[in-house]
Amino acid sequence: MTDGATRPADDWWRSAVVYQVYPRSFADADGDGTGDVNGIRARLPYLADLGVDALWISPWYPSPLLDGGYDVSDYRDINPEFGTLSDADALIAEAHALGIRILIDLVPNHCSWEHPWFKAALKATPGSPERDLFWFRDGKDGHAPTNWPAAFGGSAWQQIDDGQWYLHLFDISQPDWNWDNPLVVEEFDSILRFWFDRGIDGFRIDVADSMAKDPSLPDVPLKDGEPTREKYVGNPFYDQPGVHTIHQRWRAIADEYAGTPQGPRVFVAEAWLSPAERLAQYVRSNELHSAFNFDVLRCAWDAKELREVIDHTTESLWAVGAPATWVLSNHDTIRHRTRYGRDQREALEGAGVVPTDLELGRRRARAAALLELALPGGAYIYQGDELGLPEVEDLPEEVLDDPTWERSGHTVRGRDGCRVPIPWSGSEPPYGFGTGEGQPWLPQPADWAPLTAEAEAGDPNSHLNLYKAALRVRRDQDALGEGRMTWDADVPAAVLSFTRDPGFRCIVNLGEQPVALPESAEILLASEPVIDGTLPGDATVWLKI
Ligand code: TEU
């Protein structure tokens, strides 16, 4: 491969800043209203200039897009709406030439009901080998085989014409694979190799904690009269011991690539598991390399709570030799500018129901970015975080696309508000997202002109320029990235202050009162202006000490 510019070290992923691309919403080169692979290619110079180490591209496979592509009908091709395999090859080569690694999304828990193996299973008879690739069962007394709830609402079982039911932990269009069947195991080995051989640097593993099920299919307990979705220890479809066997197998495959110029390939686990000790089981040295830490994402903007979460995370992960991996937003959550602009007890509530101060959210999002990028380990940036995009909370009901909306009987709007296409330039929709022929698949707000990449590039105080500066400093400072941190003593209750060797300090003021900075410290970067040596509220500063 031609990746002379990528970092040679095999452990690049321990401190990498990874930018999440949600391909449908990133950039639309062919102007049909949907983002595509050539759109990503066209924006590679922007991403290189931003200074990220790698991209994680959410699913780009052929899919009916009933769950935004997390419903895969062919794991070895590109969705024609997004482009072709040769576009993907070109993207991988061009990214590598710029020093940017590529991670893609593996969705191993379930496929799409349009996957040929599931179609064959539907046509086959109960008890057939085709059905054994999935979880087909007879019902119990005319009901579903278990009381398991689906993530998007309703039962996790769907009945078909011959009376049998199939399991779908997510949407009805996403049948769960039966990982006890060796053909499924072998198929995914082959899919990993297919993409590794094409030059992919690694995979993000979707719901990495759910592939293995308790085959005795026990019911889950009720909570408030409803079957719980909580991931209690012993839950029959989450965090079952069998998932670790799968991850160990994949790790061995990734390690086979150790002799290649790119080095061994890597995995990041998506598993919403708390406490961090549970998550740490997934990143032991013979399993996945890293795992998103969602505890900080779910944490309030509160110094005491954040410190506890940071300590708990680092202690648990370091105990197994893994780096921490920090995340503030992704395509499943309310964008953090919006979350931080709310009463923190209601930060994660649904769209449009909680009063939000977006200016407060903007300040805190900037402060949080400098906190995230100063913590030990790797960090993820969700597309548009670097522009300070807020959640779009007033999408018209008729455009809502997340299966949550239908499955909840139109009570939960779902995740579309963080998936609105990126504004690149210009003063009105589609803001350079596409050519203007096809309307963006989700409408963009009329007031996003100041938030385009172009507008922000020209504003020294913009979110974009803060991110760029932070990533530049991060590269220059040996203290940043992987390593250790020490909390500083004697700081006010609303302040987080920590030191990293050599000679770096990060101070986050989560309170309202300004705090005095140590004299003689050189300011490397600040999220708000530092006046008379004091750091204002809801702001972060990086110091050289
Ligand atoms: O998400 C897994 C997951 O746990 C989410 O369903 C989460 O609980 C929910 O989004 C919170 O609102 C992954 C993907 O990131 C998500 O986009 C997919 O819908 C899901 O898996 C199914 O593949």
372 confidence band (pLDDT: 50, 70, 90): very high
Query: What residue type is assigned to position 531 of the chain?
Result: I
Mapping DSSP onto H, E and C, the string for 285-302 reads CCCCCEECECHHHHCCCC
With contact defined as beta carbons under 8 Å apart, do 335 and 347 qualify? no
Rounded mean pLDDT, 179-193? 98
What percent of the chain stands above pLDDT 90? 94
DSSP output for 256-285: GGGGSTT-S-EEEE----SSHHHHHGGGST
Q: Computed from CA positions of residues 45, 48, 52, 56, in that sequence, does the dihedral angle turn out positive or negative?
A: positive
**In whole angstroms, how far apart are CA 241 and each of 109, 205, 210, 399?**
15, 17, 10, 40
What is the distance between the alpha carbons of residues 39 and 31, in angstroms, rounded to a whole number?
10
pLDDT at 486 over 50: yes
In CATH, 485-544 is 2.60.40.1180: yes
How high is the pLDDT of residue 9?
Answer: 67
Q: Which residues line ligand 1 (CB under 6 A)?
A: 67, 70, 107, 151, 170, 206-207, 270, 272, 331-332, 415
Residue 357 is predicted with a pLDDT of: 97
Average pLDDT, the chain: 96
Ligand 1 atom index nearest CA of 71: 23
- Of ligand 1's listed atoms, the one at least distance from the Cα of 331 is 17
Atom of ligand 1 minimally distant from the CA of 109: 23
**For the structural domain made of 116-167, what CATH number should be given?**
3.90.400.10
Q: Return the CATH number of the domain spanning residue range 4-110+182-470.
A: 3.20.20.80
Residue 2: is its pLDDT beyond 50?
no
Pairing of strands 539-544, 504-509: antiparallel
- How high is the pLDDT of residue 537? 98
> What is the DSSP annotation of 327-395?
ES--TTS--HHHHTTS-GGGTT--TTSS---HHHHHHHHHHHHHHHHHSSSEEEEETTGGGTPPP----
Q: Confidence band (pLDDT; 50, 70, 90) for 4?
A: very low
Residue nearest to ligand 1 atom 18, measured at CA: 70
The residues spanned by each domain of the chain are 4-110+182-470, 116-167, 485-544
Mean pLDDT computed over 425-451: 96
DSSP reduced 3-state for 229: coil
Contacts of range 38-44, beta carbons closer than 8 Å, 24 or more positions apart: 38/83, 38/87, 40/91, 41/87, 41/90, 41/91, 41/94, 43/424, 44/91, 44/94, 44/95, 44/98, 44/100
Q: What local confidence, expressed as pLDDT, does residue 5 receive? A: 42
Residue 6 has pLDDT above 50, yes or no: no
Residue 167 alpha carbon to ligand 1 centre in Å: 16
* pLDDT band, residue 7 (cuts 50/70/90): very low
Residues of the chain with pLDDT > 70: what percent?
98
Parallel, antiparallel or unpaired: strands 522-526 and 378-382: unpaired
Which residues belong to the active site?
A: 206, 256
> Directed axis angle between helix 242-255 and helix 182-197, to 10°?
30
- pLDDT of res. 520: 85
CA of 299 to the centre of ligand 1 (A): 18
The answer to whether the beta carbons of residues 37 and 461 sit under 8 Å apart is: no
Radius of gyration of the chain (CA): 23
CA distances from 290 to 89, 312, 487 (A): 25, 16, 24
Cα separation, 220 vs 232, whole angstroms: 10
- Phi and psi, residue 372, nearest 5°: -55, -45
**Predicted local distance difference test score (pLDDT) of residue 350:** 81
Nearest to 107 by CA among 171, 167, 197, 177: 177
Question: Best of 57, 66, 70 to mutate for ligand 1, by most ligand atoms within 8 A of CB?
Answer: 70
Yes or no: say if 370 and 386 are a contact pair by the CB < 8 Å rule: no
Q: Give the mean model confidence (pLDDT) for residues 327-341.
A: 97
Whole-number Å distance between alpha carbons of 60 and 204? 13
Lowest mean pLDDT among 6-10, 199-203, 371-375: 6-10
